[in-house]
Structure 1
Amino acid sequence: MSETIQAPRIAMLGGTFDPVHLGHLRSAVELHEALGLDRVHMIPAAQPPLRGAPQISPQERLALLRLGIGDTPGLVADPRELERQGPSYSADTLAELRQAYGPQARLVMALGHDAFLRLADWHAPERLFALAHLVVVDRPDHEDALPAALAELVDGREVDDVATLMAAPSGRLLRLRLPSRMAISATEVRRRLAEGRSVHYLLPEAVEARILERGLYRRTR
């Protein structure tokens, strides 16, 4: 029991953060609280294998993320995927975090419901569970049937509460409903910026200021 109490609780929250917005940051804060985490690594992807290329450079996305996080306790802007060559595979990132925090750390990969539905198509999906727990930030229709390959992948892994999840270092799945599901879309933010429309109250003030100062995401004529 003492080992469970003392083991660090670490989460990985990946994404393109193109750009980081208040929905990303609020979800990270609520994840930190709900799971009793020591640290949430917010990790921008350099080359997301299943998505198109981000609109601005990795270094600019990282700078915006650091501005957005500011001095928020427990949140870390982690550049490790930007420092690797090739596609940003989550399994490789989890392996680095596992090595850094040790075999008894309670390591969590958090992802949204839509990403979860495509999990069976990810690179080495079985390896994810060998390295970490998965926490799915659910939406209301999560009771819909899972695709067959995904159902097989997660069979026998799902637990109902945080205590059961954290009783082991890895290998389990928890669906989690966060209190503030802020319906902010990075796609919509980019569209508004391209059209020269307001993004006030969608982004942290420091992020908005840098984007406007540098003309990021503006449509070129």
Structure 2
Amino acid sequence: MIGIFGGTFDPIHYGHLRSALEVKEIFNLTEVRLIPSAQPPHRQQPVATASMRLQMLELAISNQPSFVADDRELKREGRSYMVDTLQSLREDFPVQSLLLFMGSDAFNKLTSWHRWQDLFTYAHVVVLTRPGFITLALDAFFTARLSTEKQALADHDAGRLFFQPVTQLDISATAIRQLVAAGKNPGFLLPDTVITAIKQNQLYQEN
């Protein structure tokens, strides 16, 4: 099974990385592909350039051989729609189970995504929640796809909805950028290699 994490990663931080590591172990994933978004359709455009965000991601995961920095959205023109990314991944991995991970906030807005129902054609959707999270009432589309057993994700290559509690660190890329802009130390929120790259390239400085 292959895990998929999308995001702007502007910059990548321990909140992203801890969740990725936990789900790799929980689901016994062969690899986790972290995919920086080029032009995210549902949020502000990234501050750092695509190449810098990819570089920071590569630095952050350099000691995790099962983590892959996947640049397919950065190479693709136009808006970064996840359904297009999953279709591309399915072409690369025709028989593997693909697990698309997202937070509960993203899941609550999923029906506003481009061709959101088609996501389940190409992958399972795994919603990362805080421990003790209570699933709200789901409509018929989601209820029909809901699984409570991890084995169902391995037995099918796509099409299931699963809720998985993980440790959620209260770290945000926005807060990190604000710390850097204010001349404060963002240490212990993201890898030192990424902090060094931010300093060397003078990222997130006040104009």
Q: TM-score range by the shorter chain?
A: over 0.9
Is 2:174 the counterpart of 1:187?
yes
Mapped pair 1:175 → 2:167: no
2:86 is aligned with 1:98? no
Give the letter aligned to residue 37 of structure 1: L
Higher alpha-carbon deviation: 152-161 or 187-196: 152-161
Give the counterpart of 1:202 among 171, 189, 203.
Answer: 189
Identity of aligned residues (%): 40
Counterpart contact for 1:120–1:153, Cα < 8 Å? no
Q: How much does 1:144 deviate?
A: 5.3
**Residues 136, 176 of structure 1: 8 Å contact kept:** yes
Runs (5+) with no aligned partner, structure 2: none
- In 2: Cα distance, 1:151 partner to 1:143 partner: 15
Q: Show the 5 A alignment for 1:59-70.
A: 59-70=51-62
Secondary structure, counterpart of 2:51 in structure 1: helix
Q: 1:79 aligns with which of 39, 57, 71?
A: 71
TM-score (norm 1): 0.90
Find the aligned partners of 1:116 and 1:92 in 2 and give their Cα distance.
Answer: 18
1:138 aligns with 2:138: no
The alignment partner of 1:43 has SS state of strand
Separation in 2, partners of 1:208, 1:152: 45
**Mapping for residues 156-167 of structure 1, pairs under 5 Å:** 156-167=144-155
TM-score of the superposed pair, with normalisation by structure 2: 0.96
SS of residue in 2 equivalent to 1:170:
coil
Cα distance in 2 between the residues matched to 1:128 and 1:142: 23
Cα offset, 1:124, TM superposition = 0.4
CA distance in 2, matches of 1:184, 1:141: 19
Corresponding residue SS for 1:19: coil
